[in-house]
Structure 1
Amino acid sequence: GCRPLWLRELIAESIVGVMPEYLIHQAWGDAKSFEDFRLPELEALADMHGIGPASEPPLYDIKDFDPLSPFLKVNLPNEEVAKNIAERSMMMKNIVEFWGEAKTAGELQAVVKAYIERNESTVRQYMTTGTFAFKLYGFGKTYQYKDQMKVLKPFFELGFKNKVKLKNPDHQFWIFFDHGHHAGGGDNGPPKKVYFGRFIADGMRHVCNTFSLKTRPFIGPTSTVAELAFVMANQGQVKMGSWVLDPFVGTASLLVASSYFGAMCVGMDRDYCLLHSKIHKKHAEKKDLFTNFRHYGLAKPEIVCGDNAYPPWHAREVYDAIICDPPYGVRAGARKSGSRNRLKGKKVNPVLTEHDNAHIPSSVPYPVEDVMADLHDVAAKYLVVGGRLVYLLPTVGEFDPKSLPQHECLELVAHSKQRLTAGFYRRCITIKKIKAWKEGMACRRRDKTSEPAPCWEDVKSKLPRKKDATDVKEKALEGEEERPPEQRNPLMVDNDDHRNEGKEQAPPKKRKVSNENMK
């Protein structure tokens, strides 16, 4: 019969080819998770497969991107590339071959029917061979079993001849309802869009449980959660055979992710006791950062006891990626090797040769601006051209990318943010080396007499103290309608210790109680 005008127009849009071939279902959570990391990770993985910013057609249309939706249509050359990108992505739940979209399930059924008619030679095999199953997912609304069956029933009439198998079918077909995100919850009304697609591959979010800090043998207070570590490895474009450096290695949580992808890892830290496992009690089981690599069956990294302020490397461009979490002074104070006596103008006694091996150098404070400038200098000097520097940076207030250290060899690629508390963010900075380093090149340093300090300088002093936060909370509980101006704090935290937010914590230790104390 004659199709209605609205359906002819909807089908016409599909025929002209403005709709991309694939639909990705991205991870989406609360405000403290990593939604802002979705596009930078996707772009980095696509670039690894030759799909860059200048590609035609573009990877995605920015007009289609909704920061409050987990769905995004993308252009990819073929199913193999789509599968490879998905299986490397931490921020992607799955990817499907895009068959159509509409405003309602009824309209979607008609659009998918037209898609099948136009592409019968390629899609009929998925509808006649093996087994199949329909899957339904609602974003912003939960669909009960009865509601799901009501939606799915018309799609069985599209000509599927193969047998239904709900568990491990040969072919999966997904229907996604996007009702939008509403902070208040509840029924969000009719869907904004409904999508249909053939399942291609899942993302790699399953490794979050495998590499969780909760089950990792050796961790520290600044160990990076698995999800973020893998995202940073992806943005660093780490692959089999890559050389990766972490100049602030700590417990090597970032190198675990890079090693998983087959990289040859090198770590450096100035904490002699941590690297040599001298932080345990005498009778405790000895563990060190290598314990984690043995636990996961990964290649162990090469570890150097050194200081990034005075890098020990030969001046060669060797590393494909530098991935790190610098000591910016919020939880781990930044220090570098140096003489405290020299700072005070006193005489410095040299270390005798026979004491070299056992000598642990003294340290002095390491300003955050110097930490960042030295890190960029190291990246410019030791990265290969095209290599990437990926690091975490805390900020308070407005962030201007131009406030980052500037180097003529380096170019900012992306910056993502994770909100830890109101006004306090942890950002992931991705930088690419665009030309070879030459002697004399260095980061431009800020003129502290005439230029304002960046928002990432001395973050710790800008955070509320625990006592201040507690006082304000107590007064709010007393029923004050409006806080005094001097007590208004845009950085008010929601728990007692903001510093541990965004990090998985080790389970509490059990206290041993003697029989005498029980009497």
Structure 2
Amino acid sequence: MPSRYLVQFAQAHEEFRLPELQSISELNGFTIQFLDDPECNDPKRPFMVLELENEEQARLLARRCILVKAVYDYYGHGSTYEALHEVNRSSKPKWEQYIPDTSFKFIVSGFNHTIPQRRQRDVIESFAYMDFLGEINMKTPQILLACFEEYDESFKRPREEHAGDGGFRQLYFGRLLEEGTARPLVNVFDVKKRKYFGNTSMEAEISLLMANQTMASPGKLMYDPFIGTGSMAYPTAHFGSLMFGSDIDGRQMRGKTYDHPSSNLKSEPGVFRAAKQYGVDGRILDLATFDMTNHPWRCGGFFDAIITDPPYGRLGRKRELSDRQKELCRIHREAPQPEDTPYIPPTKPYELSHLVSDLILFARYLLKPEGRLVFFLPTVNDEYEEVDVHNSLCEGMEVIANSLQDFGSWGRRLITIRKTTLQSYPPPTFEAQREESHTPAHKDFREKYFQGFKAPLSEPSPLDSPKLADQ
């Protein structure tokens, strides 16, 4: 029979919570049941009550979900202490085993509010009917009991001391099972502490969330076609997956090189240097320089997931070079060049709505059945509609998660698409011309960004943005 567990979330990325819970539960082969009670299943609230088959499943969520702060054995909830105590008394079979000789610690905590110490003591004493006989141990208790008071966000505003105390929205009570041990990985993969990064490197928390959406685990093979400085590769490899990366600009992967003092060899690529920092360099299979629209993959259906942050409107050539252009390239290649002259790959505008459609086709070709494509899609918030993403889909691909990271006038959506077909497909042709029956909010995003999402579309502004310009 399923048991109930109380999940305490970190206060970040509310829309990413459910997709992460569902991905990790699917990875571990179990299903989460959400309660019908709106006070217990709102993903934008700090607490959620789940039904799981056993305690081990709850612990697995705490050990892997980046947005889970802690998981508790659920004893009850209510809008008043009277209601909470009534539910808790009915849950006595869950806690009576700890009555005789278990050391314990009791905490009372408020969300969006600081509870006065005197009232904390009063709350603790109101649970005296539990009649625990073990010693109170504040440092190393055998169990920790927690009572949470959830207040509305309005109490964040400046107020007199203890103003609004007791005006909570909901109460939750339970026994701590496990603190979220995955959450500290945000600090481990902090970009500021990384040996190699760039101005387009993805922040650590988002990279970890993306890795969880791919269901990264030992034995899986992942691919990032726009790997850049490798932000998505490190957490994915940390979870045990093997990683392959490519990019049109090899400089992003290599970084600056330097001579080893004891040999004539150049330093290894920057992505590998950073991977060594995290102890995952053995899981980065290789890096290659090529344009996605002119890729070397001659067979498909072998990647478990594709994880990437695609460029916002620029990529390599999509048309065959003319004879005159080929001749100019040949002359340039054969002309003497200094040894340290960098190769700057040619790029051209690549409409984002076309890039998204092509990326999905590309993923369908390369992914195994049930494989996942996880990528970010920038969009104009006021113009966004669900059909924007669904119109980009092709046969055999379905959207299973779509979460917004809101920046105000614009945002970026973490899209998770699953390959649902067993059929094999030929490599996509990346046709330049296509008709659109609907104009998505991410169409011409680069130009809209430079125009401040206000002015009519015209030539791109000379003003630059590191994130957009470097791609």
Alignment partners' CA distance in 1, 2:195 and 2:45: 36
Taking structure 1 as reference, are residues 72 and 295 closer, same or farther at Cα in structure 2, changes over 3 Å only? same
Answering whether residue 19 of structure 2 is matched by residue 40 of structure 1, we say: yes
- CA–CA separation in structure 2 for the residues paired with 1:67 and 1:497: 37
Instruction: Identify the range of structure 1 (217-226 vs 43-52) with the bigger mean alpha-carbon deviation.
Output: 43-52
Gapped regions of structure 2 (runs ≥ 5): 456-462
Q: CA deviation at 1:306?
A: 2.0
1:11-30 matches, cutoff 5 A: 21-29=4-12
Q: Which structure 2 residues correspond to residues 469-480 of structure 1 after superposition, within 5 A?
A: none
Equivalent position of 2:315 in the other structure? 335
Q: Distance in 2 between matches of 1:462 and 1:199?
A: 48
| Aligned positions of 1:389-404 closer than 5 A | 389-396=373-380, 397-404=382-389
Alpha-carbon distance change, 61 to 299 in structure 1, aligned in 2, over 3 angstroms: farther
1:399-410 alignment, distance < 5 Å: 399-404=384-389, 405-410=392-397
Do structure 1's residue 290 and structure 2's residue 280 form an aligned pair? Answer: no
| Mapped partners of 2:155, 2:466: distance in 1 | 25
Equivalent AA in structure 2 for residue 414 of structure 1: A
What is the aligned counterpart of 2:422 among 436, 448, 454? 436
Residue 101 of structure 1 and its aligned partner are, at CA, apart by 1.2
Single out whichever of 186-195 and 37-46 deviates more from structure 2: 186-195
Q: Which amino acid aligns with 1:374?
A: D
In structure 2, relative to structure 1, the CA distance for the partners of 1:446 and 1:400 (3 Å cut) is farther
Task: Note the residue ranges of structure 1 that are not aligned, 5 or more in a row.
Answer: 1-16, 470-485, 488-495, 502-519
How much does 1:418 deviate? 0.8
Query: Does the 8 Å CA contact 1:241/1:263 hold for their aligned counterparts?
Result: yes
Distance 1:145 1:184 in 2: 19
Q: Identity across aligned pairs (percent)?
A: 27
Partners of 1:69 and 1:181 within 8 A in 2: no
What is the alpha-carbon distance in structure 2 between the residues aligned to residue 213 and residue 322 of structure 1? 22
- Could you tell me how far apart the structure 2 residues matched to 1:499 and 1:156 are? 59
- CA distance in 1 between partners of 2:34 and 2:208 (Å): 22
CA distance in 1, matches of 2:351, 2:441: 14
Give the match for residue 459 of structure 2: none
Q: How do 1:9-408 residues align onto structure 2 when only pairs under 5 Å count?
A: 21-29=4-12, 34-52=13-31, 58-61=33-36, 63=38, 64-116=40-92, 119=93, 123-182=95-154, 185=157, 186=159, 187=163, 190-203=167-180, 204-278=182-256, 288-300=270-282, 301=284, 302-329=286-313, 334-337=314-317, 342=322, 346-349=324-327, 351=330, 360=343, 362-365=345-348, 366-396=350-380, 397-404=382-389, 405-408=392-395
1:435: Cα distance to partner? 0.9
The answer to whether the 8 Å contact 2:352/2:445 transfers is no
CA RMSD of aligned residues (A): 3.5
User: Partner letter of residue 10 of structure 2?
Assistant: A
Q: Which amino acid aligns with 2:445?
A: V
Distance (Å, rounded) in 2 between the aligned partners of 1:207 and 1:462: 35
SS in 2 for 1:165: coil
What is the Cα deviation at residue 47 of structure 1? 1.9
In structure 2, the CA distance between the partners of 1:398 and 1:205, relative to structure 1 (3 Å rule), is: same
User: Secondary structure in 1 aligned to 2:127?
Assistant: helix
Q: Give 1:179's aligned amino acid.
A: Y
In 1, distance between residues paired with 2:376 and 2:106? 41
Moved more, 160-169 or 183-192: 183-192
**What SS class does the counterpart of residue 153 from structure 2 fall into?**
coil
Mark the CA change 1:424 to 1:125 in structure 2 (over 3 Å): closer, same or farther.
same
The one-letter code sitting in structure 1 at the alignment partner of 2:446 is K
| Separation in 2, partners of 1:199, 1:263 | 31
| Comparing 42-51 and 68-77, the one that deviates more | 42-51
Whole-angstrom distance in 2 between the partners of 1:457 and 1:314: 30
How far apart are the structure 1 equivalents of 2:73 and 2:90?
15
1:76–1:351 distance in 2 versus 1, CA, 3 Å: farther
Residue 327 of structure 1: how far off its partner (Å): 0.7
| TM-fit CA distance, 1:304 | 1.7
2:253–2:269 Cα contact (<8 Å) kept: no
In the alignment, structure 1 residue 463 sits paired with structure 2 residue 449: yes
Q: What residue number does 1:473 align with?
A: none
